[in-house]
Each structure stands twice: as structure tokens, then as C-alpha cells.
Structure 1
Amino acid sequence: MFDFDQYLGFLAFLTILTIGFWLMIFLLTFVIPYWIGGAILEILKEKRDAKKAKRNQ
């Protein structure tokens, strides 16, 4: 059915596909929400500091 080099190519393809799948799951569930949450907190902190500086002037 498969030659040995075709078998190795198929295994390499499945390995790359699986790594890509789990990397995408990891990025979508942990990294991107952490990044967005940190950006929102940073924006809120800057607005709070600007409001505090304006009030102190």
C-alpha cells in the first residue's frame, strides 16, 4: 500500500498537523485572552492615572 518513504512523509504530515492543531487551541484559549485582558487593564489604568493627574492639577 505505502512505500516506506511515503509512510514517513505521511507520519510527518500527521505530526505537523497535530502540532498545529494543539498550538491553535492553546493560542485561542490562553494566549489571546490573556493578551486582550492585559491590554484592557492597561488602558483602564492609563485612563485612571490621567483622571487622577487632572484632578490633582
Structure 2
Amino acid sequence: MVEFDQYLGFLAFLTILTIGFWLMIFLLTFVVPYWLGGNLLEMWKERREAKKAEREKA
């Protein structure tokens, strides 16, 4: 038979596991694409500015 403290421990484990799972899903669906998109946009802007500066220099 399962005692009450073991039951509470199991519920705490399931809660932490579920929170971790949903946090991972959130990070993979919103944060990572936002971070990648921002980095790609910044790289594109820097390259465009470098080309513009090179054209003005020549």
C-alpha cells in the first residue's frame, strides 16, 4: 500500500515533470525561433551596411 507522503512525492514529481515538459515545448516553439530570426536579421543588416560602406569607400 502506498503511504500518503509517497503519494505527495509522486504528485510533486509529476508536477515538476509536466512543468518541465511544457517549458521545453514553449521554448522550442516561441523563444528559439524568435532568437534565430533576430540573429539572422542582425546578420543581414550588418552585411548590408558593410556592402553599403564598401560602395561609398570605392
Same fold (TM over 0.5): yes
- The aligned length equals 57
Letter in 2 for 1:22: W
Runs of at least 4 residues of structure 1 off by over 4 A?
none
Q: CA deviation at 1:38?
A: 0.4
Q: CA deviation at 1:13?
A: 0.4
Cα deviation 1:3-42 (Å, max 9, x = unaligned): 0110110010000010001000000000000000000001
2:23 maps to: 23
Aligned mates of 1:7, 1:56 — CA distance in 2: 72
CA RMSD across the alignment: 0.6
1:1-57 alignment to 2 at 5 Å?
1-57=1-57
Letter in 1 for 2:29: T
Aligned mates of 2:48, 2:13 — CA distance in 1: 50
Relative to the length of structure 2, the TM-score reads 0.94
- Residue aligned with 1:2, SS: coil
Q: CA deviation at 1:56?
A: 0.8
Q: CA deviation at 1:2?
A: 1.5
Relative to the length of structure 1, the TM-score reads 0.96
Structure 2: stretches of 5+ with no match in the other structure: none
Aligned mates of 1:2, 1:10 — CA distance in 2: 10
